[in-house]
Structure 1
């Protein structure tokens, strides 16, 4: 990809003229509002905007204080993130383009200060709404506040923006996962969002929790349910806004940009990969033949930016929905994922692994329960017992229980395959010039899964766990020690089983003594050979 920032700004602009994609050129001079900018997808969106459109006027980001951090502290942490390293090299003062706005999506009028509201209303050209809670087990009331009511508040603000050209909402391909074939349309929800708002407003939290399964019906969790409600709300309340909805599937590490394998969190697939790479989990309930519909984060962001350009420039008559998936175009199964991931972690092991990386995927409930007891609970219990005996705090059972909960929530998506239509996405791709297709690539037919999964696994090592690749020899040595310990334990267990349960007859004892005597003779032979050799 071409770089447009040099030490000489005027030279840079001359070089960029005539060599820039139509999409990148569109965002130059524009003021962009991004919600969820401190999140995984939000950071990639901001980075790509800064790198591809160097003359973007301002990127406003809505930020709230969180986990004891002020808005300013969260922004400082964000710009220090490794995802901005390429931008930092080309333009060290890139953060000057980013203007944080203190906001809270769950509060009336987003709790934005009046002077900031006026600036947004008079300046913003494009809104990218990425903010949402992505927790599958989020209490329904909180999920409604963040995902649905927060979007409603943002739409109220957006409809007043004087220069707004496009409103782009990031949803999920699983918003309608209760259907097997999903079209690029907004489906009517099972209940009107406003009626649900009224219901949860006065109802006690414990009562809401009790009736949540009935309210969400055949949706697997509050996340997908509230995303479906939000899409309907955007369609109903967008007014005269030029709007579009992007539906990515399971968002994974980057494919190419800003560098292969970048990922910064333990959510979803990356958390399971790390747990398997560490040897903490050995079995997963999953249909190995089901499609693992993973979409690289940079592909999702390229499609989002392209849709923003198309919505603003071509002004479609109706709201368009774009599916950002791989299953129907370049399918890849969970069984293949297991193979590529385990082979990568054995060649490039994670540091201080609990056990040798190994994963067993099964769709059988009984087999899953068996392997969970044998491969997870028993080793975790024994390790915690060892920690107690050595005066340390037990932790492995706690880690396993947390992982087991995550795997249970994720199981719905690893045991099914969906079909998504892609007419709008194909139409958008056809609207792109050759330069646009290169700079804002979202053609997943070019994706090689073996290479991508290897980079994904290496990304979890380098960017999530912050492990140095120079430490791989030491990590391999650690795996060899674990392998020797495993052989010793297995041998000891076999001996105990033989002595207690099998060696009751005279014949069994004779066989036992014969094997031991044979082993002793072999040892003496090799010892004698070694002595003669010296």
Structure 2
């Protein structure tokens, strides 16, 4: 609330009124999509959420192009699956909106149709993408590194290299686009009757007009 993003509202209705409005409309809950039940341990709170939530927007993601493969897998793939599983328990759910990325299309050029990925589909010829196999590759590599008593730095380097190897094997240029594509596959494969919408923005930029031009946060 202290962000300059709220300055316009603060000037219009005053700081105290804005605070009251936020407390009435927004209920912040700490969680982590890489865990089952989104890391929410309070069962009564989960039950209340399952009864009340009607729209879920999942924009949580690891966006570093060269993140550790295990971390990117846990958030961008397993995380998407956990959000979908949670969404299926929401009795009023109208839609799960999943924010993906245009980069899932890899290095393709020209007009690209908004076609969902089939499970196992890749951008490379003669390869099949099995997500369970990928998770097994990660687990085996981590076990190998543990056996070798690898340092945290060595583990990080090894997992980044592994991710790049697997991404390029299947036709993606980096770990980010590779794992985001797998996240889409998981949703398409497991959604059943759930209303799932996937959007693929090209880039996140600053505000155009509202609440004022040029605002952006978290620039790398």
TM-score bucket of the superposed structures, by smaller chain: 0.7 to 0.9
Structure 1 residues 278-314: Cα deviation after superposition (integer angstroms, max 9, x where no partner): xxxxxxxxxxxxxxxxxxxxxxxxxxxxxxxxxxxxx
Normalised TM-score (structure 1): 0.34
* Bigger RCO (CA 8 Å, 6+ sep): 2
One of 250, 256, 266 as aligned partner of 2:219: 266
Tell me if the contact between 1:87 and 1:94 (Cα under 8 Å) persists in the aligned partners. no
Residue 228 (structure 1) shift? 0.8
TM-score, structure 2 length as denominator? 0.79
Contact 2:67 2:160 in 1 (8 A): no
Paired residue for 1:211, among 162, 185, 209?
162
Distance 1:255 1:85 in 2: 16
Q: Does the aligned pair in 2 maintain the 1:103–1:110 contact within 8 Å?
A: yes
Q: Which residue of 2 aligns with 1:118?
A: 47
1:222 aligns with 2:175: yes
**Pairing 1:229-248 to 2, within 5 Å after superposition:** 229-248=182-201
Inter-partner Cα distance in structure 1 for 2:106 and 2:90: 34
Q: Which residue of 2 aligns with 1:253?
A: 206
Listed one character per residue, the Cα deviations across residues 405-464 of structure 1 (whole Å, up to 9, x for unaligned) are: xxxxxxxxxxxxxxxxxxxxxxxxxxxxxxxxxxxxxxxxxxxxxxxxxxxxxxxxxxxx
Structure 2 counterpart of 1:132, from 61, 65, 68: 61
Alignment deviations for residues 112-136 of structure 1 (CA, whole Å, 9 cap, x no partner):
0212210110000100111111111
Cα distance in 1 for partners of 2:185, 2:167 equals: 15
**1:198 Cα offset (Å):** 2.8
Matched with 1:193 is: 131
Does the 8 Å CA contact 1:101/1:116 hold for their aligned counterparts?
no
Please report how far the alpha carbon of residue 193 of structure 1 lies from its aligned counterpart in structure 2 after TM superposition. Answer: 2.2
Query: Structure 1: which 5+ residue stretches go unaligned?
Result: 1-78, 268-534
The CA deviation at 1:214 is: 2.6
Change over 3 Å in CA distance of 1:212–1:121 after alignment to 2: same
**Paired residue secondary structure (1:115):** helix
Deviation, structure 1 residue 169: 0.4
Q: Residue 84 of structure 1: CA displacement? A: 2.1
From the CA coordinates, give the structure whose radius of gyration is larger.
Answer: 1
1:472-518 Cα deviation digits (max 9, x unpaired): xxxxxxxxxxxxxxxxxxxxxxxxxxxxxxxxxxxxxxxxxxxxxxx
- Structure 2 residue aligned with 1:85: 7
Question: What is aligned with 1:332?
Answer: none
- Of residues 72, 82, 85, the one that matches 1:143 is 72
Aligned to 1:24: none
Distance in 1 of aligned mates of 2:55 and 2:9: 22
Specify every segment of 5 or more residues in structure 2 that has no aligned partner in the other structure, as ranges: 123-128, 146-154
2:84 to 144, 149, 155: 155
CA contact (8 A) 2:69 2:159 kept: yes
Partner of 2:126: none
Task: Report how far residue 147 of structure 1 moved.
Answer: 1.0
Pairwise CA distance, 1:247:
0.9
Whole-angstrom distance in 1 between the partners of 2:33 and 2:210:
29
Alignment of 1:3-82 (within 5 A): 79-82=1-4
Give the drift of 1:225.
Answer: 0.9
What is the CA distance between 1:264 and its match in structure 2?
Answer: 1.5
- Note the aligned Cα RMSD (angstroms): 1.8
Q: CA deviation at 1:229?
A: 0.8
Deviation, 1:109, is 2.3
Name the structure 1 match of 2:125. Answer: none
CA positional deviation for 1:137? 1.7
The residue aligned with 1:517 is none
SS at match of 1:169: strand
Higher helix share: 1
Contact 2:62 2:72 in 1 (8 A): yes
CA distance in 2, matches of 1:262, 1:219: 32
Deviations 1:366-404 (A, max 9, x none): xxxxxxxxxxxxxxxxxxxxxxxxxxxxxxxxxxxxxxx
Tell me the CA shift for residue 201 of structure 1. Answer: 2.6
